[in-house]
Amino acid sequence: MLEVMDRYANLDLLSGDRLSEGLIKLWLDILADSQSLGLTTVQNPSESDQEVLVHHFFLLDGEEKPCAAPFSWRIRMHLESLWEESEFMPVREDGTGRILQFVSSFTNSRLASHFQKLSEEERLEYGQHFLQDFLLLALKIKSTDELTVFTRAMLGCVSELQTSLGAVTELSPAWIMAAAKHFALRLDTLCHIFLLQPQLAHNVQKQGGKREPPEMVEDILALGMCVEQTKLLTVTSQQECETFVSRMKLLQPCLDRAFGQKYRTLCSPSCLQQLDSIRSLWHGMLVVASFIQHIIFKVNKNDSRLKELALKHGKLHLNLMQESPDVKSVDTLQQLIRILNCFHDECMSRDLRAALARQAVIRDCCNSFFLEVVSRFCLSEGQTPGEGVVELLFSLLVSANGDVYRTRELTPFLECVDNSPVVRSVLPKLLLQYR
């Protein structure tokens, strides 16, 4: 009994001026209701029936922290149980009916009956305290900055959900749980970002401010900061290139999730606009990573001159993607082709023009990189290339010799000859889809 009363330092709430009189009475009412607390009496318990007591506490900034709302852990357990039950209720196709039924189930439950005795002001007070405990219980938050960020995010989630359902504005435990379930994908993404980069919590906390009406933007802010920090990296050495690619791989799952269609349905129009800008810049950074992997990592490491040239043009690609990351734009694609041609020409010194084998290796690397850019970014499924892009690609694919037109390998290098009938048949068909 004592363990239940003092779980998460629940007894501390009765000391000092931590709670209003109404919430103190709520504390006592819940304690007196053994059914709501889920207490069962065991007569003459045997040794095997006796449980090992576990010390429950919150840890914030490395220090133990007591709960803020009376029996918040028990309220959350009750809400989780009701949410699982609501899964089997008949609801509308959009799933919103489940949320309304869930909130109604909690409101009509025995445990929630104790909240009916509170004034409107006391209910708001409990909601604010419960929100803090809920976040600490559900998300394993480690710092005060993270708690501040997630508190703002959850207030935005609750507000957006209630507005979309036409519900009365109310910060109740049921609405907090419903919002957390509905926006779980975005909250999980924010958790993932802070797990990868804990220091970002402070930056997001500083940048985000109070908004009316409240709206969740914290995940978008964090994603934007991650990509902007990547954009500021340099690629002037092999080590820096490895760091760049490693960071891209680290962030890739997070960004892929955020760019998915399900994620977009949870975002407001303003958030979608920011998300599209982030995606454009991220794809630009992916182009740079692709250049590094296809070319810089594959050049002969013993050839210092070639290695230096690869790094030089890697930097040029990074500069291009920083300024104009949209590879669906014909201007950007033309500039990328110019950089590749420049690298292709410079890889041979004047004294070694006859060393065609080395140039062929570089050309193959560049062709591989260019083909990935075209297939993955210019002609990606569900995306329409910019004006002039298809014409430019056709000009690279088809060469004219008088009245005779011949297809060749898709390459930015005009001297290449195509010996692959597979490439000749597939690429024109793909390009014709956009005509």
pLDDT at 53 over 60: no
Q: For residue 258, is it within any domain?
A: no
Give 421's pLDDT tier (boundaries 50, 70, 90).
Answer: very low
Nearest-angstrom CA–CA distance, 190 and 199: 13
Q: Are 67 and 5 in contact (CB under 8 A)?
A: no
Nearest-angstrom CA–CA distance, 23 and 13: 10
Q: Are 82 and 105 in contact (CB under 8 A)?
A: yes
Q: For residue 226, is it within any domain?
A: no
Predicted confidence (pLDDT) per residue in 385-412, tens digit: 888 888 888 888 776 666 656 666 777 7
Q: Provide mean pLDDT across the span 31-39.
A: 77
Please check whether residues 171 and 285 belong to one and the same domain. Answer: no
Please check whether residues 148 and 286 belong to one and the same domain. Answer: no
Residue 360 lies in domain: 279-432
The CB-based long-range contact list for 164-170 (8 Å cut-off, 24+ gap) reads: 164/96, 165/96, 165/99, 165/100, 167/100, 167/103, 170/123, 170/127
pLDDT at 5 over 90: no
pLDDT at residue number 416: 55
pLDDT at residue number 75: 95
Q: How many domains does the chain have?
A: 2
Q: For residue 32, is it within any domain?
A: yes
Predicted confidence (pLDDT) per residue in 294-335, tens digit: 999 998 888 888 899 999 999 999 999 999 999 889 999 999
pLDDT at 356 over 80: no
Residue partners of 214: CB distance under 8 A and separation at least 6: 152, 155, 156, 158, 159, 160
pTM value surpassing 0.75: yes
Please check whether residues 284 and 172 belong to one and the same domain. Answer: no
- Residue 213, preceding peptide bond in cis (omega within 30° of 0): yes
Q: For the chain, give the mean pLDDT.
A: 86
Q: For residue 269, is it within any domain?
A: no
Predicted confidence (pLDDT) per residue in 337-350, tens digit: 999 999 988 876 65
Q: Looking at 161, 179, 197, which one is the last position of a domain? A: 179
pLDDT at 171 over 80: yes
Give 8's pLDDT tier (boundaries 50, 70, 90).
Answer: confident
Task: Return the exposure string of 315-340: e unless at least 16 CB atoms fall within 10 Å of the residue's CB, then b.
Answer: ebbbebbeebbbbbbbebbebbbebb
What does each C-alpha distance from 403 to 400, 406, 424, 427 come to in angstroms? 7, 10, 19, 22
pLDDT at 105 over 60: yes
Q: For residue 253, is it within any domain?
A: no
pLDDT at residue number 40: 52
Q: For residue 339, is it within any domain?
A: yes
Q: Say what the alpha-carbon torsion angle 368, 372, 375, 381 is, to the nearest 10 degrees.
A: 160
Nearest-angstrom CA–CA distance, 414 and 399: 9
Please check whether residues 173 and 286 belong to one and the same domain. Answer: no
Look up residue 56 and give its two tokens: 């429950």
Q: Looking at 150, 179, 208, which one is the last position of a domain? A: 179
Nearest-angstrom CA–CA distance, 160 and 360: 57
Nearest-angstrom CA–CA distance, 66 and 19: 13
pLDDT at residue number 392: 87
Q: For residue 131, is it within any domain?
A: yes
Please check whether residues 160 and 307 belong to one and the same domain. Answer: no
- Between residues 226 and 356, the one the model is more confident about: 226
Q: For residue 74, is it within any domain?
A: yes
Q: Looking at 179, 214, 242, which one is the last position of a domain? A: 179
